[in-house]
């Protein structure tokens, strides 16, 4: 008979725990069941179970708490949906968030490399779900955070890039469909080789490239410029490399979405119409297709056909170019001699792929040019940063890949050519001042 009062006592205790749950936090004695939510302190974000689109599957996710259209910005169990409303989330004594199904099996879990003492999970007003030690508000000490695991959406403060110290990569992947948040075949990553830049992959193959950061913006995304809605930043130091965005007005709702089409979208919530507005898209035309014109080719969307060879180059396989297949690219009309080369200046273009590049932040342009001349494999150079007259050095080696014209781009690139292609003798090629053929010392 004593067991019945004990069961009643446990049930009453469970009710008390659930009633006492803070709005934005759970500890190891608390649960989130399907139908329950926790809400960030300012009410901006909400965490709970939902079904996307027309799906009947249940997912643990985070969505906006103050807008009329439920819009998920993060999904935990995107690969392992629940088929009913029996899901339960709890926090273990080890500091792990675990999602349990009807049978009590773990279908999703967070992770941690640091033993926990008194862990809590908190949904911040930034939209970041963090597991931390109770009372420790230093995010650098967090045991786990959802911002490290984006889905198809970036919200202000999220990063795309790499933690150099830990090796963790922050990247986005498309949903398979509006009804299915499992990983689609489009991925947005930061490529750390050479000088880092953002790359969009489709089935692991390059689809679109943002171009290297020039101090102001990515050279392949001139439409992303200073504006009244958001601030964008590229950070590269000894701890991490990443791109991030922040709002000028933190009360607005803003997200960057990678849809299955691969057309990156910046989307703003309009309070007056209670709807999302497509503010801008990164991929604008066919010249955004990665390496459409092949090696040493250049794409100009206003030309017909859109592909041509860089000046001083010619189609590698002319019959393919006649069929508008430019993938074979271009080769030099005159091979480099190494001892008598100069440079042709080109402006108003997207800088070539930087995976096989080298850079130095302290060199000036003259030192950059001379460094390139000393290496017979160096094929082009430019300033790393175009602000305040230019600084730093970025060198390319071998073929120049994925270039296109952008009239609004003001960055110069200097492409290595044999002196005969420049109409100069060896001494002139090395010493020309930037007049006439556009050679700069």
Q: Where residue 185 sits, what CATH number does that domain have?
A: 2.90.10
Q: What's the helix, strand, coil split of the chain in %, to 5?
A: 10, 40, 50
User: Does this model's pTM top 0.85?
Assistant: yes
- Residues 106 and 189 placed together within one structural domain of the fold: no
User: Is 439 contained in some domain?
Assistant: no
Question: At which of 264, 284, 304 does a domain end?
Answer: 284
What are the residues facing 298 on neighbouring strands?
Answer: 308, 403
Residues 174 and 97 placed together within one structural domain of the fold:
no
Name, in order, each residue with C-beta under 8 angstroms of 143's C-beta and a sequence gap of 6 or more.
95, 112, 114, 116, 119, 130, 131, 132, 133
What CATH number has the domain bearing residue 94? 2.90.10.10
- Do 45 and 131 lie in one domain? The reply is yes
Distances (CA, A) of 273 to 226, 257, 270, 276, 296: 25, 20, 6, 8, 47
Domain that holds residue 406: 287-425
370 with 291, same domain: the answer is yes
Total count of domains within the chain: 3
Last residue of a domain, one of 284, 308, 343: 284
Domain for residue 434, yes or no?
Answer: no
Q: Could you tell me if 291 and 420 lie in one domain?
A: yes
Tokens 């500091």 sit at which residue? Answer: 95
Same structural domain for residues 210 and 131? no
pLDDT in tens, the chain (441 residues): 444 344 333 433 343 334 334 489 999 999 999 999 999 999 999 999 999 999 999 999 999 999 999 999 999 999 999 999 999 999 999 999 999 999 999 999 999 988 899 999 999 999 999 999 999 999 889 999 999 999 999 999 999 999 999 999 999 999 999 999 999 999 999 998 899 999 999 999 999 999 999 999 999 988 888 999 999 999 999 999 999 999 999 999 999 999 999 999 999 999 999 999 999 988 778 999 999 999 999 999 999 999 999 999 999 999 999 999 999 999 999 999 888 899 999 999 999 999 999 999 999 999 999 999 999 999 999 999 999 999 999 999 999 999 999 988 889 999 999 999 998 655 555 554 333 333 332
If asked whether residues 27 and 119 sit together in one domain, one would say yes
Q: Are residues 251 and 239 in the same domain?
A: yes
Residue indicated by tokens 């601030």: 231
Dihedral of CA atoms 90, 92, 97, 99 in degrees, nearest 10, equals -50
Does residue 40 fall inside a structural domain? yes
| Residue 418 · residue 334 · CB < 8 Å | yes
CA 372 to CA 397: how far, in whole Å?
Answer: 9
- Considering the domain architecture, whether residues 228 and 336 belong to the same structural domain is answered as no
> Which tokens belong to 421?
């292609």
């Amino acid at each position: 008979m004593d067991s019945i009062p004990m069961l009643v006592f446990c049930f009453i205790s469970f009710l008390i725990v659930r009633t006492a749950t803070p709005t934005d936090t759970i500890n190891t004695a608390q649960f989130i069941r399907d139908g329950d939510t926790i809400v960030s302190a300012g009410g901006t974000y909400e965490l709970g179970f939902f079904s996307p689109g027309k799906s009947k599957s249940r997912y643990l996710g985070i969505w906006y708490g103050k807008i009329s259209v439920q819009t998920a910005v993060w999904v935990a169990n995107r690969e392992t949906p629940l088929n009913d409303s029996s899901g339960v989330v709890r926090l273990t004594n080890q500091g792990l968030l675990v999602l349990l199904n009807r049978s009590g099996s773990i279908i999703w879990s967070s992770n941690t490399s640091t033993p926990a003492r008194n862990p809590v999970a908190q949904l911040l007003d930034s939209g970041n779900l963090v597991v931390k030690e109770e009372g420790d508000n230093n995010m650098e000490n967090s045991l786990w955070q959802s911002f490290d695991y984006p889905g198809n959406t970036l919200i202000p403060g999220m990063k795309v890039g790499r933690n150099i110290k830990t090796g963790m990569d922050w990247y986005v992947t498309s949903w398979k469909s509006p009804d299915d948040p499992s990983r689609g075949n489009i991925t947005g990553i930061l490529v750390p080789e050479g000088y880092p830049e953002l790359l969009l992959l489709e089935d692991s193959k390059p689809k679109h490239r943002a171009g290297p950061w020039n101090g102001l913006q990515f050279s392949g995304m001139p439409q992303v410029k200073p504006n009244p809605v958001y601030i964008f930043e590229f950070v590269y130091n000894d701890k991490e490399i990443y791109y991030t965005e922040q709002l000028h007005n933190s009360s607005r709702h803003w997200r960057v979405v990678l849809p299955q089409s691969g057309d990156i979208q910046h989307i703003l919530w309009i309070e007056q119409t209670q709807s999302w507005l497509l503010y801008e898209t990164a991929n604008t035309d066919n010249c955004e297709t990665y390496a459409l014109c092949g090696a040493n080719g250049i794409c100009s969307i206003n030309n017909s056909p859109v592909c041509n060879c860089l000046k001083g180059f010619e189609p590698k396989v002319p019959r393919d170019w006649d069929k508008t297949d430019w993938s074979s690219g271009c080769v030099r009309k005159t091979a480099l001699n190494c001892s008598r080369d100069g440079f042709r200046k080109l402006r108003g273009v997207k800088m070539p792929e930087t995976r096989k590049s080298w850079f130095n932040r302290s060199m000036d342009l003259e030192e950059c040019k001379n460094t390139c001349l000393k290496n017979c494999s160096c094929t082009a150079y430019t300033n790393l940063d175009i602000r305040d007259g230019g600084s730093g050095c970025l060198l390319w080696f071998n073929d120049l890949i994925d270039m296109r014209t952008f009239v609004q781009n003001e960055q110069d690139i200097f492409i290595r050519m044999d002196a005969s292609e420049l109409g100069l003798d060896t001494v002139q090629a090395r010493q020309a001042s930037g007049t006439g053929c556009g050679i700069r010392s």
